[in-house]
Structure 1
Amino acid sequence: MTFKPFEPGNHAVGGKTVRVMVIALIAIVLITGSIFVVSPSEMAGERWMGGTVVTATPLGTGVHFKVPFLETVDRLQTSRSVYTLGGLDVYTNDNQKVSIDISVIYQIPSRSVLNLLYKVGRAGNVDIDSTLLPVVRDRALEAFAKYNTLTISDQRGQITAQMKKSISNGLETLFGVDVIDVQLTGIHYSPGFEHSIEEAVKAKADAVQAQNAVAQKRFEGEQKTVTAAAEAQAAVETAKGRADSLLLEADAQAKAALIVGNAIKEHPDYVRYYGLQRWNGSLPQVTGGSMPMVDLRMPGENK
């Protein structure tokens, strides 16, 4: 075994190097621990030794400094956030239980950051959702208590607007939180109530169908009445036309007879002339006896 002789100079150099490395490491830790970055979606506050708040106004986006190991940084998201509450049981004014799902879109303004970080609940961003929950639940219960279960679906928009107004006022007054929107994303009825709704819908549909059938029968009856009236009017018009035609024909025949009679009175030979005008040239057919004589002379000829 060979031992390397002791060299004091080399040992001193090695010790100095270690000290430099330790100092550099401590410096890096101190520098790193004294710098922190706040992102655009959040703001921050500082506490001295985990207790006293040393930030007068919230720290915004950018690089900030703190005392390493002695100051604690608390961050809070200030961009728009969505708080979802599912399966919340509420009661209507007819004492029916309904389960609903709610989404609340909210934003924390800078004026409310330190209040939420250090004056509401525990220090820091550890229980913001649980802080908002009681207000959201209470305002939702209050809104639904004003409506009847049978009208919830038809008045969904009105209920949502009421909840938004109540939740917005509550969160703003208590915590300074700005509510952007509130959505009623789900309404769940009990199985028994859903069955009763189906029965009610079916009964309503049957009633509408019956009304439609009555209306159809009424329409058909009115159509028949109109048709019968039209046919009766047409028959009256036809009869009137026929009567007018017969009157005209009778009047014409009477006038013709009058003319013929006057002619006969004034000219007795007109009778033979009238007969000759209508003779077809055939002699009368007779049985037994002598053949009748037919005067073929024109009126005015000598016998």
Structure 2
Amino acid sequence: MKHNILLPTDFSDNSWSAIVYALKLYAHEECTFYLLNSVAISVAMRSKISKSLLKTSQEEAKKELLNLKQLAQESNGNPNHDFKIILSINDLDKAINNAVINHDISLVIMGTKGVTGAKGFFFGSNTVRVISRFANCPVLVIPEDYDFVAPKQIAFPTDYNRFYGSNEIKPLTQMADLYNSKIRILHINENEELSEIQQFNQMMLQSYLNNNKYSLHWMPKYDKKTAEINDFIEELNINILAMVNYKHSFIENIVKEPIIKKIGFKPLVPFLVIPE
């Protein structure tokens, strides 16, 4: 199976770290990596900038993309990896959406730079925008300065209140298949027993994972769900955190301002956001 992976970049060290992670994650797979840079300029700015300056800006971005492509090729040891560049004049959200559609992208991998504060850091604004608005393709968010670790353990938190379709679980199992990973299903215990609906949803989820290694885990409810998830990540040496992003989900809450600032969610490991 060949993978088409989209790698948005702003040419920062942080985005390069995400590219390196992607190359290592798919080190043994056949892939085409698309390096994407957006040179979108607001309408207000366009009226103040000459056409020649706009052209120069685009030419410089293309040159940087070509240099990045060369660097990625030189850093890569898999002859079955191809690299292509995409220079877009659209906003990042639209640029990613167009690339996913036009190039049959199966996964977007991007870095996030945290903002320091009293309670850690939260996702950068570009990452928040992509996660909250983008619903066509899974997004794997790589924390700043994260060194690659083979994802042998994947956490999948759920309250079992929602029925997952097979299309929502597919990105999770595909990620697990790369390294024969074990999927750790985390249920935060609000009641002593599951309701009939929760039991049914749990049964269906287990049926989807029938060909994968998985285990069920219960944790007592904390005051802050973010602390609970991070404790689970540390205790079980989780390498990737995966969640489905749906209406009223945990992800929808953490990417809303000012909640994201208030809870200070720090992604300790790469975070796979799966669209519903």
TM-score by length of structure 2 reads 0.23
Q: Which has the higher contact order (CA 8 A, sep 6+)?
A: 2
Query: Which is helix-richer, 1 or 2?
Result: 1
TM-score by length of structure 1 reads 0.21
